[in-house]
Structure 1
Amino acid sequence: MVWLNKLKNWGQWLSLYLWLVSGTIILTINASWLYFVNAVSQKLGPSVNLSLGRLMTNYYQLLAYLNFPWVPKLAMNDFTDSIGALRHFADVKNLFMLDYGVFIVTSVIVYYFYRRLKRQQQLWRFVLPMQAALWVPPLVAVIMAVNFDQFFVFFHEVLFRNSDWLFDPLYDRIILVLPDTFFLQCFVLAFVIIEWSFAYFLSVGKCALRDLD
Protein backbone atom coordinates (compact mmCIF):
# COMPACT_ATOMS: atom_id res chain seq x y z
CA MET A 1 0.00 0.00 0.00
CA VAL A 2 3.02 2.28 0.39
CA TRP A 3 3.53 2.48 -3.36
CA LEU A 4 -0.16 3.28 -3.81
CA ASN A 5 0.09 6.20 -1.39
CA LYS A 6 3.20 7.46 -3.19
CA LEU A 7 1.40 7.20 -6.53
CA LYS A 8 -1.57 9.09 -5.12
CA ASN A 9 0.73 11.77 -3.73
CA TRP A 10 2.53 12.20 -7.08
CA GLY A 11 -0.82 12.31 -8.83
CA GLN A 12 -2.04 15.10 -6.57
CA TRP A 13 1.05 17.24 -7.14
CA LEU A 14 0.86 16.60 -10.87
CA SER A 15 -2.80 17.60 -10.80
CA LEU A 16 -1.88 20.85 -9.05
CA TYR A 17 0.66 21.72 -11.76
CA LEU A 18 -1.77 20.75 -14.53
CA TRP A 19 -4.49 22.82 -12.89
CA LEU A 20 -2.26 25.88 -12.76
CA VAL A 21 -1.05 25.44 -16.34
CA SER A 22 -4.51 24.74 -17.80
CA GLY A 23 -5.98 27.66 -15.85
CA THR A 24 -3.24 29.92 -17.16
CA ILE A 25 -4.02 28.84 -20.72
CA ILE A 26 -7.73 29.56 -20.21
CA LEU A 27 -7.03 33.06 -18.88
CA THR A 28 -4.60 33.77 -21.70
CA ILE A 29 -6.69 32.59 -24.63
CA ASN A 30 -9.65 34.58 -23.36
CA ALA A 31 -7.70 37.80 -22.81
CA SER A 32 -9.62 39.61 -25.53
CA TRP A 33 -8.43 42.91 -24.03
CA LEU A 34 -4.92 42.05 -25.21
CA TYR A 35 -6.13 41.56 -28.75
CA PHE A 36 -8.03 44.86 -28.53
CA VAL A 37 -4.82 46.64 -27.50
CA ASN A 38 -3.02 45.12 -30.49
CA ALA A 39 -5.87 45.92 -32.84
CA VAL A 40 -5.72 49.58 -31.80
CA SER A 41 -1.94 49.99 -31.61
CA GLN A 42 -1.19 48.12 -34.85
CA LYS A 43 -4.26 49.38 -36.73
CA LEU A 44 -5.21 45.82 -37.65
CA GLY A 45 -8.72 46.74 -38.77
CA PRO A 46 -7.65 49.20 -41.49
CA SER A 47 -5.13 46.65 -42.79
CA VAL A 48 -8.10 44.55 -43.98
CA ASN A 49 -10.53 47.44 -44.53
CA LEU A 50 -12.52 46.83 -41.36
CA SER A 51 -13.49 49.13 -38.53
CA LEU A 52 -12.23 48.30 -35.04
CA GLY A 53 -15.70 47.26 -33.91
CA ARG A 54 -16.23 44.97 -36.86
CA LEU A 55 -12.80 43.39 -36.42
CA MET A 56 -13.51 42.68 -32.75
CA THR A 57 -16.85 41.11 -33.72
CA ASN A 58 -15.01 38.68 -35.98
CA TYR A 59 -12.50 37.96 -33.22
CA TYR A 60 -15.28 37.19 -30.74
CA GLN A 61 -16.86 34.87 -33.32
CA LEU A 62 -13.54 33.03 -33.58
CA LEU A 63 -13.26 32.79 -29.78
CA ALA A 64 -16.84 31.51 -29.52
CA TYR A 65 -16.06 28.72 -31.97
CA LEU A 66 -12.84 27.77 -30.17
CA ASN A 67 -14.30 27.94 -26.66
CA PHE A 68 -17.79 26.49 -26.89
CA PRO A 69 -18.46 22.86 -27.84
CA TRP A 70 -21.99 23.78 -28.95
CA VAL A 71 -20.58 26.00 -31.73
CA PRO A 72 -19.78 23.31 -34.32
CA LYS A 73 -18.81 25.52 -37.25
CA LEU A 74 -16.52 28.50 -37.62
CA ALA A 75 -18.38 31.40 -39.20
CA MET A 76 -16.96 34.92 -39.20
CA ASN A 77 -18.72 37.83 -40.83
CA ASP A 78 -15.76 39.09 -42.84
CA PHE A 79 -13.33 36.20 -43.13
CA THR A 80 -13.71 33.02 -45.16
CA ASP A 81 -11.02 30.43 -44.59
CA SER A 82 -9.48 27.75 -46.76
CA ILE A 83 -9.96 24.05 -46.02
CA GLY A 84 -6.51 23.94 -44.42
CA ALA A 85 -7.26 26.91 -42.18
CA LEU A 86 -10.59 25.44 -41.10
CA ARG A 87 -8.83 22.18 -40.32
CA HIS A 88 -6.26 24.06 -38.24
CA PHE A 89 -8.90 25.94 -36.26
CA ALA A 90 -10.69 22.63 -35.67
CA ASP A 91 -7.43 21.23 -34.26
CA VAL A 92 -7.06 24.31 -32.05
CA LYS A 93 -10.64 23.85 -30.84
CA ASN A 94 -9.85 20.24 -29.88
CA LEU A 95 -6.85 21.46 -27.86
CA PHE A 96 -9.05 24.05 -26.15
CA MET A 97 -11.58 21.38 -25.24
CA LEU A 98 -8.79 19.18 -23.87
CA ASP A 99 -7.50 22.08 -21.78
CA TYR A 100 -10.95 22.79 -20.35
CA GLY A 101 -11.36 19.08 -19.58
CA VAL A 102 -8.01 18.94 -17.76
CA PHE A 103 -8.90 22.07 -15.79
CA ILE A 104 -12.28 20.73 -14.70
CA VAL A 105 -10.95 17.32 -13.62
CA THR A 106 -7.91 18.70 -11.81
CA SER A 107 -10.03 21.37 -10.10
CA VAL A 108 -11.81 18.61 -8.19
CA ILE A 109 -8.55 16.86 -7.28
CA VAL A 110 -6.82 20.10 -6.24
CA TYR A 111 -9.80 21.15 -4.12
CA TYR A 112 -9.64 17.98 -1.99
CA PHE A 113 -5.84 17.98 -1.99
CA TYR A 114 -5.68 21.56 -0.70
CA ARG A 115 -8.42 20.92 1.85
CA ARG A 116 -6.56 17.87 3.17
CA LEU A 117 -3.26 19.74 3.48
CA LYS A 118 -4.98 22.62 5.26
CA ARG A 119 -6.82 20.29 7.64
CA GLN A 120 -3.57 18.48 8.47
CA GLN A 121 -1.67 21.78 8.78
CA GLN A 122 0.67 20.76 5.95
CA LEU A 123 0.33 23.71 3.59
CA TRP A 124 4.05 24.27 4.22
CA ARG A 125 4.60 21.43 1.74
CA PHE A 126 3.96 23.94 -1.08
CA VAL A 127 7.30 25.63 -0.41
CA LEU A 128 9.81 23.33 -2.12
CA PRO A 129 7.67 22.35 -5.16
CA MET A 130 6.79 25.99 -5.84
CA GLN A 131 10.37 27.17 -5.37
CA ALA A 132 11.44 24.67 -8.01
CA ALA A 133 8.54 25.58 -10.32
CA LEU A 134 9.39 29.30 -10.17
CA TRP A 135 12.51 28.64 -12.26
CA VAL A 136 10.66 27.07 -15.17
CA PRO A 137 8.85 30.09 -16.73
CA PRO A 138 12.00 32.31 -16.76
CA LEU A 139 13.99 29.47 -18.33
CA VAL A 140 11.41 28.98 -21.08
CA ALA A 141 11.18 32.75 -21.54
CA VAL A 142 14.94 32.98 -22.11
CA ILE A 143 14.79 30.20 -24.69
CA MET A 144 11.89 31.94 -26.40
CA ALA A 145 13.63 35.32 -26.34
CA VAL A 146 16.72 33.95 -28.11
CA ASN A 147 14.73 33.20 -31.26
CA PHE A 148 10.97 33.61 -31.00
CA ASP A 149 10.35 32.65 -34.64
CA GLN A 150 12.09 29.31 -34.16
CA PHE A 151 10.33 28.78 -30.84
CA PHE A 152 6.98 29.56 -32.49
CA VAL A 153 7.62 27.03 -35.25
CA PHE A 154 8.73 24.37 -32.75
CA PHE A 155 5.64 25.08 -30.62
CA HIS A 156 3.34 24.41 -33.60
CA GLU A 157 5.28 21.35 -34.74
CA VAL A 158 4.85 19.82 -31.27
CA LEU A 159 1.12 20.57 -31.00
CA PHE A 160 -0.04 19.94 -34.56
CA ARG A 161 0.33 16.92 -36.79
CA ASN A 162 0.33 18.88 -40.07
CA SER A 163 1.34 22.21 -41.60
CA ASP A 164 -2.18 23.66 -41.81
CA TRP A 165 -1.09 26.39 -39.40
CA LEU A 166 0.99 27.93 -42.21
CA PHE A 167 -1.69 30.27 -43.56
CA ASP A 168 -1.52 31.88 -46.99
CA PRO A 169 -2.68 35.52 -46.62
CA LEU A 170 -4.03 35.41 -50.17
CA TYR A 171 -6.60 32.80 -49.13
CA ASP A 172 -6.74 33.27 -45.37
CA ARG A 173 -6.88 36.98 -44.63
CA ILE A 174 -7.42 36.22 -40.95
CA ILE A 175 -3.67 35.77 -40.57
CA LEU A 176 -3.20 39.46 -41.43
CA VAL A 177 -4.97 40.42 -38.21
CA LEU A 178 -3.25 37.78 -36.06
CA PRO A 179 0.33 39.11 -36.03
CA ASP A 180 3.28 37.32 -34.45
CA THR A 181 3.63 40.14 -31.94
CA PHE A 182 0.19 39.33 -30.55
CA PHE A 183 1.15 35.69 -29.99
CA LEU A 184 4.42 36.80 -28.41
CA GLN A 185 2.47 38.95 -25.97
CA CYS A 186 0.17 35.99 -25.24
CA PHE A 187 3.21 33.92 -24.25
CA VAL A 188 4.48 36.76 -22.05
CA LEU A 189 1.07 37.08 -20.38
CA ALA A 190 0.97 33.33 -19.76
CA PHE A 191 4.44 33.43 -18.17
CA VAL A 192 3.36 36.28 -15.89
CA ILE A 193 0.19 34.47 -14.81
CA ILE A 194 1.86 31.12 -14.13
CA GLU A 195 4.79 32.77 -12.33
CA TRP A 196 2.36 34.70 -10.13
CA SER A 197 0.48 31.45 -9.42
CA PHE A 198 3.65 29.67 -8.30
CA ALA A 199 4.60 32.68 -6.16
CA TYR A 200 1.15 32.73 -4.57
CA PHE A 201 1.28 29.07 -3.53
CA LEU A 202 4.84 29.62 -2.32
CA SER A 203 3.60 32.46 -0.10
CA VAL A 204 0.83 30.20 1.22
CA GLY A 205 3.44 27.59 2.12
CA LYS A 206 5.73 30.13 3.81
CA CYS A 207 2.85 31.56 5.82
CA ALA A 208 2.01 28.05 6.99
CA LEU A 209 5.63 27.54 8.05
CA ARG A 210 5.56 30.74 10.10
CA ASP A 211 2.35 29.63 11.77
CA LEU A 212 4.05 26.42 12.92
CA ASP A 213 6.75 28.37 14.80
Structure 2
Amino acid sequence: MVWLNKLKNALQWISLYLWLVSATIIVTINASWLYFANAVGQKLGPTVNLTLGQLMTNYYQLLAYLNFPWVPKLVMNDFTDSASALVHFADVKNLFMLDYAVFIVTSVVVYFFWRRLRRDQQLWRLVLPMQTALWIPPVIAVVMAINFDQFFVIFHEILFRNSDWLFDPLLDRIILVLPDTFFGQCFVMAFVLIEWAFAYGLSIGKQALREID
Protein backbone atom coordinates (compact mmCIF):
# COMPACT_ATOMS: atom_id res chain seq x y z
CA MET A 1 0.00 0.00 0.00
CA VAL A 2 1.67 3.17 -1.23
CA TRP A 3 -0.49 5.50 0.89
CA LEU A 4 0.36 3.54 4.04
CA ASN A 5 4.08 3.84 3.36
CA LYS A 6 3.69 7.57 2.74
CA LEU A 7 1.76 7.97 5.99
CA LYS A 8 4.39 6.00 7.90
CA ASN A 9 7.16 8.11 6.38
CA ALA A 10 5.36 11.35 7.25
CA LEU A 11 4.79 10.22 10.84
CA GLN A 12 8.46 9.34 11.20
CA TRP A 13 9.59 12.80 10.09
CA ILE A 14 7.00 14.47 12.28
CA SER A 15 8.21 12.36 15.19
CA LEU A 16 11.77 13.50 14.54
CA TYR A 17 10.71 17.15 14.61
CA LEU A 18 8.63 16.62 17.76
CA TRP A 19 11.50 14.78 19.42
CA LEU A 20 13.90 17.64 18.74
CA VAL A 21 11.41 20.27 19.92
CA SER A 22 10.40 18.37 23.07
CA ALA A 23 14.05 17.70 23.94
CA THR A 24 14.82 21.39 23.50
CA ILE A 25 11.96 22.31 25.83
CA ILE A 26 13.17 19.82 28.46
CA VAL A 27 16.70 21.22 28.41
CA THR A 28 15.43 24.81 28.54
CA ILE A 29 12.92 24.44 31.38
CA ASN A 30 15.53 22.69 33.50
CA ALA A 31 18.27 25.28 32.91
CA SER A 32 18.38 26.31 36.56
CA TRP A 33 21.78 27.90 35.93
CA LEU A 34 20.04 30.51 33.78
CA TYR A 35 17.66 31.40 36.58
CA PHE A 36 20.59 31.52 39.00
CA ALA A 37 22.37 33.98 36.70
CA ASN A 38 19.25 36.16 36.62
CA ALA A 39 18.81 35.93 40.36
CA VAL A 40 22.36 37.16 40.87
CA GLY A 41 22.41 39.72 38.06
CA GLN A 42 19.02 41.25 38.82
CA LYS A 43 19.26 40.82 42.60
CA LEU A 44 15.90 39.09 42.67
CA GLY A 45 16.20 37.80 46.23
CA PRO A 46 16.23 41.23 47.92
CA THR A 47 13.03 42.23 46.08
CA VAL A 48 11.16 39.71 48.26
CA ASN A 49 13.50 39.84 51.26
CA LEU A 50 15.13 36.49 50.56
CA THR A 51 18.75 35.44 50.36
CA LEU A 52 20.03 33.94 47.12
CA GLY A 53 20.06 30.50 48.75
CA GLN A 54 16.48 30.83 49.95
CA LEU A 55 15.31 32.01 46.55
CA MET A 56 16.98 29.11 44.74
CA THR A 57 15.47 26.63 47.22
CA ASN A 58 12.02 27.95 46.36
CA TYR A 59 12.82 27.78 42.65
CA TYR A 60 13.94 24.16 42.94
CA GLN A 61 10.73 23.36 44.82
CA LEU A 62 8.76 24.89 41.95
CA LEU A 63 10.75 22.89 39.39
CA ALA A 64 10.22 19.68 41.36
CA TYR A 65 6.46 20.23 41.32
CA LEU A 66 6.42 21.00 37.60
CA ASN A 67 8.73 18.14 36.58
CA PHE A 68 7.73 15.20 38.74
CA PRO A 69 4.28 13.57 38.54
CA TRP A 70 4.74 12.18 42.05
CA VAL A 71 4.82 15.72 43.50
CA PRO A 72 1.05 16.42 43.56
CA LYS A 73 1.05 19.75 45.40
CA LEU A 74 3.07 22.92 45.01
CA VAL A 75 4.66 23.83 48.32
CA MET A 76 7.37 26.48 48.58
CA ASN A 77 9.05 27.63 51.75
CA ASP A 78 8.55 31.34 51.24
CA PHE A 79 5.69 31.75 48.76
CA THR A 80 2.00 31.09 49.31
CA ASP A 81 0.16 31.39 46.03
CA SER A 82 -3.42 32.41 45.37
CA ALA A 83 -5.97 29.93 44.03
CA SER A 84 -5.64 31.27 40.47
CA ALA A 85 -1.84 31.04 40.63
CA LEU A 86 -2.05 27.43 41.78
CA VAL A 87 -4.40 26.68 38.88
CA HIS A 88 -1.90 28.23 36.48
CA PHE A 89 1.02 26.24 37.86
CA ALA A 90 -1.12 23.09 37.61
CA ASP A 91 -1.76 23.94 33.94
CA VAL A 92 1.99 24.44 33.42
CA LYS A 93 2.66 21.09 35.08
CA ASN A 94 0.23 19.42 32.66
CA LEU A 95 2.13 20.96 29.75
CA PHE A 96 5.41 19.71 31.22
CA MET A 97 3.96 16.21 31.51
CA LEU A 98 2.71 16.39 27.93
CA ASP A 99 6.15 17.42 26.72
CA TYR A 100 7.81 14.54 28.57
CA ALA A 101 5.23 12.12 27.14
CA VAL A 102 5.88 13.38 23.60
CA PHE A 103 9.63 13.04 24.14
CA ILE A 104 9.35 9.47 25.42
CA VAL A 105 6.99 8.27 22.68
CA THR A 106 8.89 9.95 19.85
CA SER A 107 12.20 8.68 21.24
CA VAL A 108 11.07 5.15 20.42
CA VAL A 109 9.94 6.10 16.92
CA VAL A 110 13.07 8.14 16.21
CA TYR A 111 15.35 5.34 17.44
CA PHE A 112 13.99 2.84 14.88
CA PHE A 113 13.71 5.50 12.16
CA TRP A 114 17.32 6.60 12.67
CA ARG A 115 18.53 3.01 12.78
CA ARG A 116 16.80 2.30 9.46
CA LEU A 117 18.24 5.40 7.82
CA ARG A 118 21.76 4.38 8.88
CA ARG A 119 21.27 0.76 7.88
CA ASP A 120 19.99 1.73 4.43
CA GLN A 121 22.61 4.49 4.08
CA GLN A 122 19.88 7.10 3.70
CA LEU A 123 21.01 9.72 6.19
CA TRP A 124 21.29 12.04 3.18
CA ARG A 125 17.51 12.33 3.41
CA LEU A 126 18.03 14.64 6.39
CA VAL A 127 19.27 17.45 4.14
CA LEU A 128 15.99 18.88 2.81
CA PRO A 129 13.93 18.54 6.04
CA MET A 130 16.69 20.12 8.13
CA GLN A 131 17.31 22.90 5.58
CA THR A 132 13.61 23.72 5.66
CA ALA A 133 13.41 23.63 9.45
CA LEU A 134 16.42 25.94 9.81
CA TRP A 135 14.31 28.90 8.66
CA ILE A 136 11.61 28.53 11.32
CA PRO A 137 13.45 29.57 14.55
CA PRO A 138 14.91 32.78 13.02
CA VAL A 139 11.49 33.84 11.73
CA ILE A 140 9.89 33.29 15.14
CA ALA A 141 12.83 35.04 16.83
CA VAL A 142 12.39 38.11 14.62
CA VAL A 143 8.67 38.24 15.44
CA MET A 144 9.50 37.92 19.12
CA ALA A 145 12.17 40.63 18.96
CA ILE A 146 9.83 43.13 17.31
CA ASN A 147 7.43 43.11 20.26
CA PHE A 148 8.27 40.61 22.99
CA ASP A 149 5.45 41.74 25.29
CA GLN A 150 2.84 41.07 22.60
CA PHE A 151 4.54 37.79 21.67
CA PHE A 152 4.51 36.75 25.34
CA VAL A 153 0.79 37.51 25.66
CA ILE A 154 -0.11 35.62 22.48
CA PHE A 155 2.07 32.70 23.58
CA HIS A 156 0.11 32.42 26.84
CA GLU A 157 -3.26 32.89 25.15
CA ILE A 158 -2.46 29.97 22.84
CA LEU A 159 -1.31 27.64 25.60
CA PHE A 160 -3.75 28.49 28.38
CA ARG A 161 -7.53 28.48 28.43
CA ASN A 162 -7.81 31.21 31.09
CA SER A 163 -6.12 34.37 32.36
CA ASP A 164 -4.72 32.84 35.55
CA TRP A 165 -1.22 33.49 34.22
CA LEU A 166 -1.77 37.21 34.91
CA PHE A 167 -0.41 37.25 38.45
CA ASP A 168 -1.13 40.03 40.94
CA PRO A 169 2.16 40.91 42.69
CA LEU A 170 0.21 41.79 45.83
CA LEU A 171 -1.24 38.29 46.05
CA ASP A 172 1.49 36.25 44.35
CA ARG A 173 4.92 37.59 45.22
CA ILE A 174 6.58 34.86 43.18
CA ILE A 175 5.93 36.85 40.01
CA LEU A 176 8.37 39.45 41.33
CA VAL A 177 11.18 36.90 41.04
CA LEU A 178 10.07 35.53 37.65
CA PRO A 179 10.80 38.55 35.44
CA ASP A 180 9.92 38.76 31.75
CA THR A 181 13.62 39.09 30.95
CA PHE A 182 14.22 35.59 32.31
CA PHE A 183 11.49 34.12 30.12
CA GLY A 184 12.86 36.07 27.16
CA GLN A 185 16.25 34.48 27.73
CA CYS A 186 14.59 31.06 27.91
CA PHE A 187 13.06 31.65 24.49
CA VAL A 188 16.41 32.72 23.09
CA MET A 189 18.09 29.66 24.57
CA ALA A 190 15.42 27.38 23.07
CA PHE A 191 15.83 29.00 19.64
CA VAL A 192 19.61 28.58 19.77
CA LEU A 193 19.34 24.93 20.83
CA ILE A 194 16.78 23.94 18.21
CA GLU A 195 18.66 25.84 15.50
CA TRP A 196 21.84 24.01 16.47
CA ALA A 197 19.96 20.69 16.36
CA PHE A 198 18.66 21.39 12.85
CA ALA A 199 22.12 22.52 11.71
CA TYR A 200 23.70 19.38 13.18
CA GLY A 201 21.13 17.18 11.41
CA LEU A 202 21.88 19.02 8.18
CA SER A 203 25.61 18.43 8.62
CA ILE A 204 24.99 14.71 9.10
CA GLY A 205 22.92 14.63 5.91
CA LYS A 206 25.54 16.50 3.90
CA GLN A 207 28.28 14.22 5.20
CA ALA A 208 26.23 11.23 4.08
CA LEU A 209 25.91 12.78 0.62
CA ARG A 210 29.67 13.28 0.38
CA GLU A 211 30.25 9.66 1.31
CA ILE A 212 27.88 8.53 -1.46
CA ASP A 213 29.75 10.65 -4.02
Q: 5+ residue gaps in structure 2?
A: none
Is residue 151 from structure 1 mapped to residue 151 from structure 2 by the alignment?
yes
Q: Secondary structure at the match of 1:200?
A: helix
Q: Secondary structure at the match of 1:36?
A: helix
Q: Secondary structure at the match of 2:170?
A: coil
TM-score, normalised to structure 2, is 1.00
Deviations 1:72-96 (A, max 9, x none): 0000000000000000000000000
Is residue 46 from structure 1 mapped to residue 46 from structure 2 by the alignment?
yes
Deviations 1:83-120 (A, max 9, x none): 00000000000000000000000000000000000000
Moved over 6 A (4+): none
Which runs of structure 2 are paired with 1:18-167 in the superposition (5 Å)?
18-167=18-167
Q: In structure 1, give the amino acid aligned to 2:34.
A: L
Question: Partners in 2 of 1:199 and 1:115 — Cα distance?
Answer: 20
Superposition RMSD in Å: 0.3
Is residue 168 from structure 1 mapped to residue 162 from structure 2 by the alignment?
no
TM-score, normalised to structure 1, is 1.00
Partner of 2:16: 16
Paired residue total: 213
Partner of 1:177: 177
Deviations 1:112-132 (A, max 9, x none): 000000000000000000000
Deviations 1:164-196 (A, max 9, x none): 000000000000000000000000000000000
Question: Partners in 1 of 2:205 and 2:167 — Cα distance?
Answer: 46
Q: In structure 2, give the amino acid aligned to 1:62.
A: L
Q: In structure 1, give the amino acid aligned to 2:82.
A: S
| Percent of residue pairs identical | 82
Q: 5+ residue gaps in structure 1?
A: none
Question: Partners in 2 of 1:127 and 1:159 — Cα distance?
Answer: 31
Question: Partners in 1 of 2:148 and 2:82 — Cα distance?
Answer: 26
Q: In structure 2, give the amino acid aligned to 1:69.
A: P
Question: Partners in 2 of 1:28 and 1:9 — Cα distance?
Answer: 29
Q: In structure 2, give the amino acid aligned to 1:152.
A: F
